[in-house]
Amino acid sequence: MNMMAPPSRNSLHYSCQILLALGLFSLQMLTPLEASRSKVEHLPGFQGPLPFELETGYVGLGEANDDMQVFYYFVKSENNPKKDPLMLWISGGPGCSSFSALAYQIGPFAFEIKEYNGSLPSLVSRPQSWTKLCNIIFVDLPLGTGFSYAKNVKDYRSDWKLVHNTHQFLRKWLIDHPEFLPNEFYIGADSYSGIPVPAILQEISNGNEEGHQPLINLQGYLLGNPWTTYKEDNYQIQYAHGMGLISDELYASLQRNCKGEYIDVDSGNELCLRDLQYFHECLSGINKFNILASICKDDLRMWRRSLTQELNASLSSRLTVPELSCRDYGFYLATKWISDESVRKALHIREGTIGTWERCYTTDFKREIFSTVEFHANLSKKGYRSLIYSGDLDLIVPFRSTQAWIRDLNYSIIEDWRSWYVNGQVAGYTRTYSNRMTYATVKGSGHIAPEYTPELCFPMFSRWISNLPL
């Protein structure tokens, strides 16, 4: 018998019988679930020991405590983890792994963008990591996202299930990490997570008021280009006009014929439909995540498809290797990196739980919340701080749409529109409102602003989280 061969089904069965005989079976089954948090000191592709503290782990949710296993990456603040705030980060999608935020946006490492040649992609440090001054939990939620798994993933994929599961995850995580209970707590999110996150905050706040333990030291939240009203698409027209992507005449005609409603157009309104068709033709070659960036037709399997149907149509080809110059090349490298056995071992991924890792798993998600404006109003009445920012080159959730719902909150203006600066240059514009809400644009940035302009977003975050004006 070749001792090196993987155990056959029979030999596995045989060892189970022995374990059963020894009364160890249940222990054996529980052990991997109990060992649910691990320090990661090295990552394949990163030279030397990690210069930051990374923990990965699972939190079991559900009746039996193991129905649902939620995976997270936790990076301790590189400054003063005891005193610095704790933030939970939830990427958009719905269903994009928060690995996206960790590796491409605000985390301490990034992929080195080099052509893939079969060797493991390399990782480098990101100098503008938000973990320089904040403890961040990057969580894979809803269930089915990233490395989180469940017996029947489909049962847990809706806005409200995501809300409840996140709340439960957080309480359990804090019970496991009581040393972080005193830290100020924030939630950060972007894109689609503009929908669930205000509801999660409200649930946390209600839970605190009802005395649920442990109490969560909730201070506020920040949202980047957040999906909020499902009316975002209506503002694409104004935005495209302002940015010179459509003519004055088409803009006037759209306003005249559609009367401000560009989403639910009456099928009998032929003039409006004709204008919209022209509008979409004008925009068909534009990268909607960043109107100044090149378009990469071959990127696929992106959460973006679920956001707007028009994008769905333009992205329905098979996954191919993106061009090296495309933003998506990094996503491609991630799938190569993370499917490597050595990486999974280093991250302490439970064997056999996830086959192919997908950066975004967007299927079977039930949408239940269609506007979060009232949640924002409720949250700010309770005194929570917020930072809402818009990468100003984003066409998907254009700044006009975000500014419109903020205006609808009727908050009084504390400090009016002014530029904010990084290294003596205008980095965007900001305005502060009563109810501790700060709004900011990030100049020259796209849909996920920290991904495009980390050198601006890091100072923005660091000022805001330190209670300083931008």
Ligand X SMILES: *[C@@H]1O[C@H](CO)[C@@H](O)[C@H](O)[C@H]1NC(C)=O
Residues 450, 106 contacting (CB under 8 angstroms): yes
Minimum CB distance to ligand X smaller for 281 or for 408: 408
CA separation (Å) from 278 to 1, 249, 314, 385? Answer: 70, 12, 16, 42
Check if 447 is active-site: yes
Give me the DSSP letters along 435-470.
Answer: TTEEEEEETT--SSHHHH-HHHHHHHHHHHHTT---
**At 244, which amino acid appears?**
G
Minimum CB distance to ligand X smaller for 115 or for 249: 115
* 297 secondary structure, DSSP code: T
Chain positions 101 to 130 lying near ligand X, rule: CB under 6 A, are 117-119
CB of 194 to ligand X, least distance (A): 14
CB of 410 to ligand X, least distance (A): 4
Those residues with Cβ within 8 angstroms of residue 105's Cβ, 6 or more apart along the chain or in another chain: 448, 450, 451, 454
Minimum CB distance to ligand X smaller for 378 or for 462: 378
x/- map, 345-374, ligand X, by CB under 6 A = -----------------------------x
CB of 47 to ligand X, least distance (A): 13
449 alpha carbon, distance to own chain's centre: 12
6 makes contact with ligand X (CB under 6 A): no
Catalytic residue among 191, 314, 380, 401: 191
**At 190, which amino acid appears?**
D
Chain positions 407 to 436 lying near ligand X, rule: CB under 6 A, are 408-410
CB of 320 to ligand X, least distance (A): 16
Catalytic residue among 233, 275, 328, 394: 394
Minimum CB distance to ligand X smaller for 68 or for 195: 195
Of the ranges 61-69, 262-270, 309-317, 349-357, which one interacts with ligand X (CB under 6 A)? 309-317
Q: Report which of 371, 390, 467, 398 is spatially closest to residue 429, judged by C-alpha positions.
A: 390
Residues 341, 133 contacting (CB under 8 angstroms): no
Q: Which of 277, 309, 317, 467 binds ligand X (CB under 6 A)?
A: 309
Check if 155 is active-site: no
Of the ranges 74-82, 162-170, 402-410, 453-461, which one interacts with ligand X (CB under 6 A)? 402-410
Those residues with Cβ within 8 angstroms of residue 410's Cβ, 6 or more apart along the chain or in another chain: none
Q: Which of 329, 375, 405, 433 binds ligand X (CB under 6 A)?
A: 375
Those residues with Cβ within 8 angstroms of residue 59's Cβ, 6 or more apart along the chain or in another chain: 36, 69, 70, 72, 169, 172, 173, 176
Minimum CB distance to ligand X smaller for 273 or for 377: 377
| Helices and strands (H and E) in the chain: how many | 16, 14
Which parts of 199-249 are beta strand (E)?
218-224
Q: 């490298």: which residue's tokens?
A: 333
CB of 264 to ligand X, least distance (A): 15
Minimum CB distance to ligand X smaller for 107 or for 121: 121
Check if 348 is active-site: no
The first and second tokens of residue 2, run together, are 């070749």
* 105 secondary structure, DSSP code: I
Chain positions 312 to 351 lying near ligand X, rule: CB under 6 A, are 312, 316
Q: What is the contact surface with ligand X in residues (CB under 6 A)?
A: 117-119, 202, 309, 312, 316, 374-375, 377-378, 408-410
Catalytic residue list: 191, 394, 447
